[in-house]
Amino acid sequence: MTCSVDYGYTVSRLRGMENRLLEPGVFQRLMDSDDLSSAIRVLSETPYGKWILEQQSEEKFDKAIESELLYIYSETERFVPDPGLYFICRLPYDIHNIKVLLKGIFNQKEGGKRRMDLLTGLGNMPVDEMVMAIESEDYRLMPFGFHRTVPECVSIWDQSHDILQVERVLDEALFSLQVKIAGEMPFEGVRLFVRSRIDAENIRNLARLKRMGFESPQAAPFFHNGGSVPVEKVLSLLNEPFEGWERFLSFADVSRTLSSAQEHTGLDSLIVDLERSIDDFLSGILAKFKYSAFAPENVLHFLWLKEIEAKNLRILLVGIGNGADRSVLRRLLRNV
Amino acid sequence: MDQLGIMLAVLGAALAAGFAGSGSAIGVGIAGESGAGIMTEDPGKFGLVLLLQALPGTQGIYGLLTAFFAILKVGLLGGDAVSVNVWQGLGVLFACLPIAIAGYYSGIAQGKTSAACIQMIAKRPEETGKAVILPAMVETYAVLALLMSIILLNSIQF
């Protein structure tokens, strides 16, 4: 009788909300659409319809997807007992916003333009407050330790003008925060998800850095601590051919993301496939918890499913808009 | 000593009603929370949810039934006064324990199963029949405990 039932209401409500997720049939209809207009018409019949109506043109479908995600996050926030669960999911958007704002400022200093349209409202910190804090250089009230991270990034830029270094510091802050928040909650599944996410990010970075021809000493700062696989182990793979990575990592779950590595002729195609494999791997980590009626990890599972749904929609709509081959689009879809 | 015997019998009745009722209350509460979650999204499922929420409530009824039977046995509910010695009182107390213990734990377990089944019908309303059978399996053990309590109470001679 030690099983906690605190999440009985939450998980049940999420089960009800799962009925609003798009069925595979909808994705099939989207894929069968001749052009973007007909795809948008199909999407209008789904819960995304109300947001599509608000957009002035079909090309603004990304705003409609973002609005639906924001609606889901806001709704979930109201009844999830532990805010850490949705903080973890929304933190990447905060970091994205900081990157957009900082790059805009750095760009402007060099005579370029700022891209405020790339900001998203999906972060934990309201966009207006973040813009105000960064533009006025008044970082004191920024949450999650951003009041230390942002000035550090500005300082790095002032000294080195190295945008990769700035991105690395922000990514490091993201994963440290996720590890910290997960560590404060008594849910092993959440910690497992965060660890797996860091492992997956390290594998993604490994493939990218290998393609860019980085050597181990240069690449080391781009890997993040906190995963199940030690950074040293991942770093050592940089000198190995990518076909053998899965074998070297066979002791870790994340090796599943590389199961098709041997089918690829080069790193370019591996990297494209890796994006899908990583998302499917993380979906698999969380899917285990759907069989538990009271597991708090179901919150992460639902939010992750919604994120994957949004990602699939973006892939399909951008692909259809650009006249991409449907079989290519089908291969890019996650978990459908 | 008669008074102590009566008190032991009353304690048995109180445990039967109290523990089994508590188990039911917790179980119905767990199932109710799940039900509320589902109905927030789909109020049309009220009928199915109510059925599943009510299932863990039976342990409380079994406990109450045993308690009535126990105090009836010692003549506290009218009829001729019965002389109850300490050993007979202890016998009634022990006879009430099966439903008190099994009622408490099975009520909670059934509540959890009902909650899980409520979540199941949220996604698959066509599986309501199976959703009722799963918590009903837990009920078996509450019924067995009730049966044993009644047999034991019947076997005590005054």
ipTM for the complex shown: 0.84
pLDDT at A64: 93
Distance from CA of A333 to the nearest CA of B (A): 24
| pLDDT band, very low/low/confident/very high, at A336 (cuts 50, 70, 90) | low
Rounded mean pLDDT, A159-186: 93
Q: Is the pLDDT of residue B104 over 50?
A: yes
How many C-beta atoms lie closer than 10 Å to residue A24's C-beta? Answer: 10
The CATH code of the domain that includes A129 is 1.20.1690
pLDDT in tens, A179-190: 999 999 999 999
Residue ranges of the domains in chain B?
Answer: 2-155
Number of domains in chain A: 3
Q: Is the pLDDT of residue A171 over 60?
A: yes
- Whether residues A19 and B122 touch (CB distance < 8 A) is answered with yes
Distance from CA of B14 to the nearest CA of A (A): 23
Nearest CA to A66 among A19, A7, A127, A156?
A: A127
Q: Are residues A74 and A98 in the same domain?
A: no
* Chain B residues with CB within 8 Å of chain A CB: 30, 33-38, 40-42, 105, 108, 112, 115-116, 118-119, 122-123
Distance, CA of A154 to chain centre = 24
Q: Which of B37, B105, B123 sits opposite A1 (nearest CB)?
A: B105
Rounded mean pLDDT, B24-33: 96
Q: Are residues A67 and A87 in the same domain?
A: no
- What contacts B115, CB < 8 A, 6 or more positions away? A5, A8, A12, A293, A294, B30, B31, B33, B34, B35
Answer with the one of A158, A184, A210 that is the final residue of a domain. A184
Q: Is the pLDDT of residue A57 over 90?
A: no
How far apart are the C-alpha atoms of A335 and A189, rounded to whole Å? Answer: 20
- Whether residues A294 and B36 touch (CB distance < 8 A) is answered with no
Percentage with pLDDT > 70 across chain A? 99
Q: Which residues does chain A have within 8 Å of residue B123's beta carbon, measured at their own beta carbons?
A: 15, 18-19
Percentage with pLDDT > 90 across chain A? 69
- Whether residues B35 and A3 touch (CB distance < 8 A) is answered with no
Percentage with pLDDT > 90 across chain B? 79
The domain of A149 spans: 83-184
Q: Are residues A195 and A288 in the same domain?
A: yes
Domain B2-155 -> CATH class: mainly alpha
Distance from CA of A121 to the nearest CA of B (A): 25
Roughly what angle, to the nearest 10 degrees, separates helices A163-184 and A84-109?
Answer: 170
Q: Are residues A91 and A171 in the same domain?
A: yes
Q: Is the pLDDT of residue A261 over 90?
A: no
Answer with the one of A123, A156, A184 that is the final residue of a domain. A184
Percentage with pLDDT > 70 across chain B? 98
pLDDT in tens, B114-158: 999 999 998 888 888 889 999 999 999 999 999 999 999 999 988
Q: Which of B42, B108, B112 sits opposite A293 (nearest CB)?
A: B112
Type of residue found at A228? S
How far apart are the C-alpha atoms of B81 and B73, rounded to whole Å? Answer: 10
